[in-house]
């Protein structure tokens, strides 16, 4: 056989290769439709139900009921935003040392996966542990990733991320701290959500995701349906090192949220602004910072956010987290102070936002305690005149009597004051607390003096 004929025969066999592959694939799945086969081997997309789609906003739908901005009852919500259509991750078929029908995962791909970490995280959130996570691949094997000043750097190059809900929103976590570099090992991927400030991803407990755990994917090149929802990134780099929060705007938005829930507005207090600024110094506790700023109140609280937030972003983040949502929407608070500081720690730029809250909550006292103080006051009022009538009696030690009268009058004054404070549902002052403790000693002294005088 001539060389030319050999080449022609090889080309003929190559043209038959797709048919051979289809036959091989079809053997174990006889009876399935071609559509089903396509879904099985990852050449046709399938709808994939997942949890945590708030972390993939704006590409995916984020309902108001889950803390997002979108109304699930409105018309025109596309299915691809509520239930993304992804391709099954298929290992491919290897023939003569060559693998076919296997797609390589790459930067920007949306992936769905499930592993022991997702099960644990979903369990703590009281969600279906059988559901997977959906995130975006940001780092692939061999990449070195760094998070700095809210931006992602891959191999020391600033990453362009149009799919993010907002720029400069990526900050480190427990698995990858700010300004730390991580080189991704083979068969592992670094994934994050597009809504970075509410996303539980590779920065935190989730960690890196193994290739074998990825069940579905959608290549970046196949995401044209979502591109109309993405941002213009041309000005992103200009945000480096710039403050982003306007306190007055945040207060206005927060008060509107409180008003919508029938709550009173918060008032910006300069002393709380000062205490919030002092609190950014980790050496001070909240109480120490407030004390140093000269602010006192009955109910005190704080929230701390690390990263660059606009007023809208900060409020959305606080309302998304159950703990902070309950705090900033509490009817107990009346005062607010908020401070933003740009810090540079060992060459790493960091922004920290501290909010301090204060409010007055009426005191509540046990009826038995109130009755006890009322009884003491009544008893002293009835007892005191008889001792006052003994003044100048020759057969009574007048020095001891004057001491007893001083104690009884002091106790009566305290009892009437404490009773009034409790009836007005006011809190005891530090002075009152001290005098209440001292009254136990006065009671003992008065009893002893009365016994001594009665024996004379």
Query: What's the pLDDT tens digit per position in 373-421?
Result: 999 999 999 999 999 999 988 888 999 999 999 999 999 999 999 999 9
Rounded CA separation 135/170 (Å): 14
pLDDT of residue 414: 97
Average pLDDT of span 335-352? 86
Residues with Cβ within 8 Å of residue 261, at least 6 apart in sequence: 329
Rounded CA separation 147/133 (Å): 22
Structure tokens at 281: 């110094």
pLDDT of residue 101: 64
Average pLDDT of span 355-372? 93
pLDDT above 80 (res 28): no
Render pLDDT for 113-130 as a digit per residue (tens, 0 to 9): 999 999 999 998 888 888
Helix, strand, coil share (%) of the chain residues, nearest 5: 45, 20, 40
- In this prediction, residue 91 has a pLDDT band, given cuts at 50, 70 and 90, of low
Rounded CA separation 254/249 (Å): 9
Rounded CA separation 159/190 (Å): 14
Q: Outline where 125-158 has alpha helix (H).
A: none
Determine how many CB atoms are found less than 10 A away from the CB of residue 184.
Answer: 19
Determine how many CB atoms are found less than 10 A away from the CB of residue 123.
Answer: 11
Is the pTM above the cut of 0.85?
no
pLDDT of residue 119: 93
pLDDT of residue 308: 81
pLDDT of residue 362: 87
Average pLDDT of span 182-189? 98
Chain centroid to CA 166: how far? 17
For residue 439, the number of C-alpha atoms closer than 13 Å in the C-beta half-sphere is 19
pLDDT of residue 10: 46
Comparing 45 with 171, the larger pLDDT belongs to 171
Q: Indicate the fold that domain 247-359 takes in CATH.
A: Pathogenesis-related Protein p14a (3.40.33)
**Mean pLDDT over all residues of the chain?**
86
pLDDT of residue 30: 46
Average pLDDT of span 50-56? 74
- In this prediction, residue 242 has a pLDDT band, given cuts at 50, 70 and 90, of confident
- Stretch among 69-83, 289-303, 349-363, 425-439 having the lowest mean pLDDT: 69-83
- Are 200 and 134 contacting, i.e. CB atoms less than 8 angstroms apart? no
pLDDT of residue 288: 94
For residue 217, the number of C-alpha atoms closer than 13 Å in the C-beta half-sphere is 24
Rounded CA separation 90/74 (Å): 36
Rounded CA separation 354/341 (Å): 9
Q: What percent of the chain has pLDDT over 90?
A: 60
Average pLDDT of span 78-107? 77
CA-nearest of 111, 122, 59 to 88 is 111
Average pLDDT of span 315-344? 91
pLDDT above 50 (res 133): yes
Render pLDDT for 278-305 as a digit per residue (tens, 0 to 9): 997 767 999 999 999 999 999 999 999 9
pLDDT above 70 (res 97): no
pLDDT of residue 38: 59
pLDDT of residue 244: 79
pLDDT above 70 (res 42): no
Provide the residue ranges of all domains of the chain, joining segments of one domain with +: 32-239, 247-359, 367-454
Render pLDDT for 137-146 as a digit per residue (tens, 0 to 9): 999 999 999 9
For residue 359, the number of C-alpha atoms closer than 13 Å in the C-beta half-sphere is 17
Residues with Cβ within 8 Å of residue 433, at least 6 apart in sequence: none
Render pLDDT for 254-281 as a digit per residue (tens, 0 to 9): 999 999 999 999 999 999 999 999 997 7
CA-nearest of 240, 247, 231, 109 to 166 is 231
Rounded CA separation 154/189 (Å): 13
- Are 290 and 275 contacting, i.e. CB atoms less than 8 angstroms apart? yes
Rounded CA separation 190/209 (Å): 7
pLDDT above 60 (res 99): yes
Crossing angle (nearest 10°) for helices 430-454 and 398-423: 140
Q: Which residues pair with 356 in a beta bridge?
A: 302, 337
Distances (CA, A) of 284 to 277, 289, 323: 11, 6, 22
Q: Which residues pair with 358 in a beta bridge?
A: 300, 335
CATH code, 32-239: 2.10.109.10
Same fold, 32-239 and 247-359: no
- Are 416 and 424 contacting, i.e. CB atoms less than 8 angstroms apart? no
Q: What percent of the chain has pLDDT over 70?
A: 83
């Amino acid at each position: 056989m001539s060389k030319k004929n050999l080449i022609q025969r090889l080309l003929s066999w190559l043209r038959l290769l797709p048919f051979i592959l289809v036959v091989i694939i079809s053997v174990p799945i006889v009876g399935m439709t071609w559509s089903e086969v396509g879904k099985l081997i990852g050449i046709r997309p399938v709808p994939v139900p997942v949890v945590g789609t708030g972390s993939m906003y704006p590409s995916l739908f984020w309902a108001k009921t889950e803390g997002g901005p979108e109304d699930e009852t409105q018309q025109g919500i596309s299915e691809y935003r509520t239930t993304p259509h992804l391709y099954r991750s298929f290992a491919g078929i290897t023939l003569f040392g060559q693998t076919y029908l296997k797609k390589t995962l790459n930067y920007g791909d949306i992936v769905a996966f499930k592993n022991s970490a997702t099960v644990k995280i979903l369990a703590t959130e009281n969600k279906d542990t059988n559901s997977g996570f959906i995130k975006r691949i940001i780092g692939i094997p061999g990449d070195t990733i760094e998070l700095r000043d809210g931006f992602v750097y891959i191999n020391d190059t600033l990453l362009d991320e149009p799919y993010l809900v907002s720029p400069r929103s990526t900050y480190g976590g427990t698995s990858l701290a700010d300004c730390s570099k991580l080189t991704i090992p083979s068969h592992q991927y670094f994934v994050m959500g597009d809504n970075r400030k509410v996303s539980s991803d590779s920065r935190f407990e989730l960690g890196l995701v193994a290739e074998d755990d990825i069940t579905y994917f959608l290549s970046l090149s196949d995401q044209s349906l979502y591109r109309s929802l993405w941002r213009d990134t041309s000005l992103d780099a200009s945000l480096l090192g710039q403050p982003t929060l306007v306190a007055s705007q945040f207060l206005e938005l927060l008060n509107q949220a409180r008003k919508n829930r029938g709550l009173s507005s918060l008032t910006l207090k300069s002393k709380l602004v000062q205490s919030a600024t002092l609190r950014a110094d980790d050496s001070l506790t909240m109480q120490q910072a407030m004390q140093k700023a000269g602010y006192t109140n009955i109910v005190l609280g704080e929230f701390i956010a690390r990263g660059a937030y606009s007023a809208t972003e900060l409020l959305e983040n606080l309302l998304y987290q159950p703990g902070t949502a309950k705090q900033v929407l509490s009817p107990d608070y009346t005062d607010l102070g908020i401070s933003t500081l740009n810090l540079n720690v060992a060459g790493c730029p960091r922004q920290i936002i501290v909010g301090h809250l204060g409010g007055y909550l009426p005191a509540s006292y046990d009826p038995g305690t109130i009755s006890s103080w009322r009884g003491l006051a009544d008893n002293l009022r009835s007892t005191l005149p008889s001792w006052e009538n003994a003044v100048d009696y020759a057969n009574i030690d007048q020095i001891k009597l004057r001491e007893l009268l001083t104690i009884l009058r002091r106790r009566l004054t305290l009892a009437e004051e404490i009773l009034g404070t409790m009836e007005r549902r006011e809190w005891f002052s530090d002075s009152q607390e001290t005098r209440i403790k001292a009254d136990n000693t006065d009671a003992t002294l008065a009893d002893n003096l009365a016994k001594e005088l009665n024996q004379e």
